[in-house]
Amino acid sequence: MLITMRPGVPKENVEKVIEFVESRGFAAHTIVGEINTVIGAVGEKTIDPRDIELLEGVAEVIRITSSYKLASRTFQPEDTVIEVNGVKFGGDHLGLIAGPCTVESFEQLDKTAAALVKSNVKILRAGAFKPRTSPYAFQGLGEEGLQMLREAADKYSMAVTSEVMEISQIEACEKYVDILQVGARNMQNFNLLRELSKIRKPVMIKRGLAATFEELLMSAEYVLSGGNKQVLLCERGIRTFERVTRNTLDLCAIPVLKKVSHLPVLIDPSHGTGLRDKVAPMSRAAVAAGCDGLIIEVHHEPDKALCDGAQSLYPSQYDTLYNEIKQIAPIVGKTIL
Ligand code: PEP
Ligand code: MN
């Protein structure tokens, strides 16, 4: 942390600042310039920069290291690659996940999976615990839904991704699910993240509706710091003033997160746009921008879907998209199954 003092401040102000940072476990290095005195505070501890800003004579406080450590490229320069059912996310790999928003019935999963297996889908998505804005909307089939999901996936030799909303659901999810998803609304459910740090299955954290990249990385840090190294980040659109699309898909997530973190970055163009016809263009753009994976909603009969039908692709549309992605991926150095 760099602390710049105001020009001409009395020596006592500088000493007070040094005393303060040292009392918080930092080593202080002072550079006395012609105009300004700058104090470099070096240490592993965390400190709220505002506490220093309020001290007399302080002009500016600049943090030079990130508050996340294990998620950072400084800690691990090489990309983390996460493999599930032969599908790899990260490094030179692009992984794909597809399936309906929610588990509705075994028949629905069976039909969707039967179509998707022809497009080489190896990881099936579907939520059994659903975070719904309205308490009157379909809330998901719960553990019974997870069992159906597992059964359908096994029939087609697929792995599964599904959302875990609270600590009490972890046990069931661990039993049936291969990648546990933390939804956008739960990105900062720190107790849930802490518990997920203890499991040994990959955890995909979706960016909150109004979360900064740093906050997303801090959430990843919760899972990493408890010993679970398999964390995937997912950009799924943020809330902006725009009303045409459901959310604003922030593809900057890819170059921004990949520069500062070694964790794989996935894109969810379904929730990111909310409209079926916008899903393929944004998926192509995400692949071109170097994402490590896509999670896409597909339903065998989107018009009859209980949840998110408008943003779900028909299986034939997914197949066309898959063939397009296969052509784009190698251009950006990515291999795809
Ligand atoms: C979902 O994947 O169906 C979902 C609810 O996602 P999000 O948390 O991004 O809204
Ligand atoms: Mn959905």
State the pLDDT at residue 118.
98
User: What digits encode the pLDDT tens for the residues 123-154?
Assistant: 999 999 999 999 999 999 999 999 999 999 99
State the pLDDT at residue 104.
98
Mean residue pLDDT across the chain: 96
Q: Which of 66-75, 140-149, 182-191, 307-316 has the lowest mean pLDDT?
A: 66-75
Q: Which of 68-72, 207-211, 256-260, 312-316 has the lowest mean pLDDT?
A: 68-72
What does the pLDDT average to over 299-310? 98
Domain ranges of the chain: 2-62, 82-336
Cβ atoms of residues 332 and 290 within 8 Å:
yes
What confidence tier does 297 reach under pLDDT thresholds 50, 70, 90?
Answer: very high
Ligand 1 binding pocket (C-beta < 6 A) is 101, 127, 131, 183-185, 206, 236, 268, 271
Distance 327 CA to ligand 1 centre (A): 28
Report the nearest atom of ligand 1 relative to the CA of 236.
9
CA dist 126 and 129 (Å) reads 9
| CATH homologous superfamily of 2-62 | Phospho-2-dehydro-3-deoxyheptonate aldolase; domain 1 (3.30.70.1140)
CA dist 286 and 269 (Å) reads 9
H-type helices in 118-275, by residue range?
142-155, 170-176, 190-196, 213-225, 253-260, 269-273
Distance 195 CA to ligand 2 centre (A): 24
User: What digits encode the pLDDT tens for the residues 38-93?
Assistant: 999 988 888 899 999 999 999 999 988 788 999 999 999 999 999 999 999 999 99
CA dihedral 138, 293, 78, 76 (to 10 degrees): -10
Say yes or no: do domains 2-62 and 82-336 share a fold.
no
What does the pLDDT average to over 255-279? 98
H-type helices in 47-135, by residue range?
49-53, 106-116
Report the nearest atom of ligand 1 relative to the CA of 308.
3
Distance 19 CA to ligand 1 centre (A): 48
CA dist 288 and 143 (Å) reads 37
Q: Which CATH number fits domain 82-336: 3.40.50.300, 3.40.1390.20, 3.20.20.70, 3.90.76.10?
A: 3.20.20.70
CA dist 199 and 71 (Å) reads 17
pTM (predicted TM-score):
0.92
Residue nearest to atom 9 of ligand 1 (CA): 184
Report the nearest atom of ligand 1 relative to the CA of 183.
8
What does the pLDDT average to over 187-200? 98
The gap between the terminal CA atoms of the chain, to the nearest Å, is: 44
Indicate whether 337 pLDDT > 90.
no
Indicate whether 207 pLDDT > 90.
yes
State the pLDDT at residue 226.
94
Taking a 5 Å cut-off on Cβ, the residues next to ion ligand 2 are 101, 308
